[in-house]
Amino acid sequence: MPRPQSTTLICASIVGVTGLSLLLKYASVKLRRGVKGSKPFTPSPPVKRSSEITRDRFTKKKVPEDIDVVIVGSGIGGLYCAALLSKAGKRCLVLEQHYVAGGCTHCFEDKGWEFDTGVHYVGRVEKYGYLLDLVSEGPKVTFEKMGGEDGTYDEIKIGDAPAHGFRAGKENFINDLVAKFPREKEAIEKYIEMVIKCNKSADLHFFGKLFHPIMEKIIDVTLGGKFQSLASRTVQDVMDELFEDEMLKAILMGQFGDYGMPPSTASFFIHAGIVSHYLDGGFYPEGGPQKIAEAIIPTIEKTGGRVLVNADVLKINVENNSTTGVTLKNGTVIKCSTVISAAGAEATSKLVGDFTTPPDLRDGISHVYLFLGLKGSAKDLDLTPSNLWALPSVNVGSDIADYYNDPGSYLSEGKMLMFIGFPSSKDPTQRDLGKSTCVVISEAKTEWFKKWDGTDHGQRGDGYKEMKKKFGDAMLKGLLKHYPQLEGKVEYMETATPLTNMYYLRREASYGLQHPPERYTIKSGIRPQSDVKGLWITGQDVTTNGFAGALMGGVLTAHGVLGYGFWDLVVGGRDLITDMGKA
């Protein structure tokens, strides 16, 4: 039995060794030079191609040798993650099943008309512009502020009441609402405080996904209370607590289409994130959103990587719980020990049986899209460079429920919930072409189009065409209620449905997984690193929906792949973006 003095010496030695180890660990993090997990590389010569940079069609001979990472899906989450890893010296191969890379950042052209498909505006360009510049080897992406002189980015129209415009700037946002609802002044100010606090407190929740699960839980319990106290509530709960005026509630909930869930079931965090994102204004990429992919892809190619389209992945290969690569539908096997899925959680579960989504999370709502080509410039047609959200009445929750249950009456009157935007009026490169474009979007349940599941794109028969026409005509009728000057100006009209989503995105849900309060908990949130060694997840399903959410999903996953964790982010104050900016 050791003497007391010996026990004291042993304990002191253990404490001393542990302390020294921690000190050395801290010093190694603080004194590390450059990006963690990076490796040197010799820049590869520019890729010689006959097609556009976003349309590099897959052939086996184009697959690079010695691939470090395979990314399935070329949405902004996958592309941005690949670009960060490429700047860290990793050779990445991005595989896209569609014929054009970029996911929802891509634009399509038909009969001389060009339309955006998923990115209709962006906020916080001081942050996201910097992040894009950081990984852009191609022409830099520039953004045009929406709304002209007053900076109005979104207009909310409730029933037949005059539209309320959200102007850029926190003070404008508050003052414009107080001018209409003076008795709610204190509540409006408190609302904005809650929105900003909820959004700012989310970083620790998301980056905690990179920590060991035990440490993630400790951080969540000790420091995550501010975030959880708000994210655990629904949008409707917060609105009912703060406000009395139903019109004010409806206006503030008018952007719910940006997250695609009824306010009665959506987490307040996703609402707060949307409001905060646009609080300083909305912006549009000059030349269209496809400029984003065009700027990023050369960075991936610089390390010998490639972004290949028409590369439909059949499965992610796993042996002994470790990723070994992917198999394409054409039979091509590509070996790689690190695979990142940017295809969305539901699609990933179909690609690899070892990955499943939490049972209390499911895919969200889908949409019907109406693309219109108009005769006349934005000036000729008096088109605004802001978006319009049109809701049938102040009864937002019941209108959503009734529309989902039976859209018939809403369609016949052209009063469904609608988003209306004019890409040509937002983009300075399109304003003076003598013609304009319009995108009208309304929510749609996938079961409305279920009878055509399994049919081939472009060959779904007359019944499908009639269904598309029914929605398209109703949305055009709704558009003309708000913009009667467009009567007789339509020269092009095309309608897309949830099945169009499935064909181009491999999912019907426009925003991926839904955003109930449960999603923003450790139990149900999706971590970027799966239980399969070498398999990572990125994009909007590990963070939040939309351009910014998907891009930040790419940032989060790149941190994980390169080995950034608790010691780097919390103890050492090191993160990938800062390290890369100093490199």
- Using pLDDT thresholds of 50, 70 and 90, give the confidence band for residue 502: confident
What share of the chain in percent tops pLDDT 70?
Answer: 95
By the 10 Å C-beta count (0-12 exposed, 13-18 middle, 19+ buried), 358 is classed as middle
Phi/psi region, residue 461 (left: phi>0; alpha: psi -120 to 50; beta: rest), is left
Q: The tokens of 424 are what?
A: 């040509």
What's the 3-state SS for 448-480?
Answer: HHHHHCCCCCCCCHHHHHHHHHHHHHHHHHHHH
Tens-place pLDDT, residues 255-295? 999 999 999 999 999 999 999 999 999 999 999 999 999 99
Q: Is the dihedral of CA 564, 569, 574, 577 positive or negative?
A: positive
Q: Is the Cβ–Cβ distance between 230 and 269 less than 8 Å?
A: yes
By the 10 Å C-beta count (0-12 exposed, 13-18 middle, 19+ buried), 495 is classed as buried
Tens-place pLDDT, residues 167-226? 999 999 999 999 999 999 999 999 999 999 999 999 999 999 999 999 999 999 998 999
Tens-place pLDDT, residues 422-438? 999 999 988 878 999 99
Question: Is 73 inside any structural domain?
Answer: yes
Same domain, 452 and 536: no
Q: From 464, 495, 510, give the residue that closes a domain.
A: 510
Q: The tokens of 506 are what?
A: 């491999």
Q: Is the Cβ–Cβ distance between 318 and 354 less than 8 Å?
A: yes
E-state strands within 142-268: 143-145, 152-158, 164-167
Question: Is 48 inside any structural domain?
Answer: no
| Gap between the Cα atoms of 306 and 42, Å rounded | 15
**Which of 130, 231, 261, 119 shows the shortest CA–CA distance to 549?**
119
Q: Is the Cβ–Cβ distance between 432 and 270 less than 8 Å?
A: no
Per-residue exposure over 525-561, b if at least 16 CB sit within 10 Å of its own CB, e if not:
bbbbbbebebbbbbbbbbbbbbbbbbbbbbbbbbbbb
SS3 396: helix
Same domain, 193 and 119: no
What share of the chain in percent tops pLDDT 90?
Answer: 80
Asked if the model's pLDDT at residue 29 lies above 90, the reply is no
Q: The tokens of 174 are what?
A: 């508050």
- Using pLDDT thresholds of 50, 70 and 90, give the confidence band for residue 459: confident
Same domain, 261 and 195: yes
The percent of the chain in helix, strand and coil, each rounded to the nearest 5, is 45, 20, 35
Question: Is 328 inside any structural domain?
Answer: yes
Q: From 218, 251, 281, give the residue that closes a domain.
A: 281
Same domain, 473 and 381: yes
Question: Is 498 inside any structural domain?
Answer: yes
User: What is the rounded end-to-end Cα distance, in angstroms, of the chain?
Assistant: 56
Instruction: Please give the tally of structural domains in the chain.
Output: 3
DSSP state of 532: S
**Which of 318, 287, 274, 336 shows the shortest CA–CA distance to 547?**
274
E-state strands within 168-265: none
Tens-place pLDDT, residues 324-367? 999 999 999 999 999 999 999 989 999 998 888 888 888 889 99
Q: Mean of the per-residue pLDDT values for the chain?
A: 92
The C-alpha R_g of the chain, in whole angstroms, comes to 25
Q: At a CB cut-off of 8 Å and minimum separation 6, what does 364 contact? A: 260, 261, 509, 510, 511, 512, 513, 514, 515, 545
Question: Is 53 inside any structural domain?
Answer: no
Q: The tokens of 349 are what?
A: 């579960």
E-state strands within 299-405: 306-308, 313-319, 322-328, 333-335, 339-341, 366-375, 387-391
Q: The tokens of 198 are what?
A: 């909820």
Same domain, 254 and 196: yes
Q: From 262, 281, 300, give the residue that closes a domain.
A: 281
Same domain, 502 and 517: no
Looking only at the bridges linking them, the beta strands covering 435-444 and 418-421 are antiparallel
**Which of 447, 288, 435 shows the shortest CA–CA distance to 374?**
435
- Using pLDDT thresholds of 50, 70 and 90, give the confidence band for residue 26: low
Same domain, 374 and 467: yes
DSSP state of 536: E
Same domain, 333 and 369: no
Alpha-carbon distances of 146 from 226, 273, 284, 424, rounded to whole Å: 33, 19, 7, 12
DSSP state of 110: E
Asked if the model's pLDDT at residue 13 lies above 70, the reply is no
Quickly list DSSP for 253-284. Answer: TTTGGGTTS-TTTSBHHHHHHHHHHHTT--EE
Averaged pLDDT, 125-152: 93
Whole domain around residue 193: which residue ranges?
Answer: 165-281
Q: Is the Cβ–Cβ distance between 125 and 283 less than 8 Å?
A: yes
CATH number of domain containing 298: 3.50.50.60
**Which of 172, 193, 175 shows the shortest CA–CA distance to 184?**
175
- Residue 1: per-residue pLDDT: 46
- Residue 474: per-residue pLDDT: 95
| Gap between the Cα atoms of 317 and 355, Å rounded | 12
Averaged pLDDT, 483-507: 92
Same domain, 246 and 292: no
**Which of 10, 93, 106, 104 shows the shortest CA–CA distance to 47?**
93
Question: Is 448 inside any structural domain?
Answer: yes
Same domain, 351 and 252: no
pTM: 0.93
| Gap between the Cα atoms of 293 and 54, Å rounded | 7
Strand partners, 536: 340, 529
Tens-place pLDDT, residues 382-404? 998 999 999 999 999 999 999 99
**DSSP H/E element including 12:** helix 4-31
Question: Is 159 inside any structural domain?
Answer: no
Question: Is 259 inside any structural domain?
Answer: yes
Asked if the model's pLDDT at residue 2 lies above 60, the reply is no
Same domain, 403 and 458: yes
Q: Is the Cβ–Cβ distance between 387 and 156 less than 8 Å?
A: no
- Using pLDDT thresholds of 50, 70 and 90, give the confidence band for residue 18: low
Q: Give the side-chain half-sphere CA count within 13 A for 392.
A: 20
- Residue 509: per-residue pLDDT: 83
Same domain, 106 and 209: no
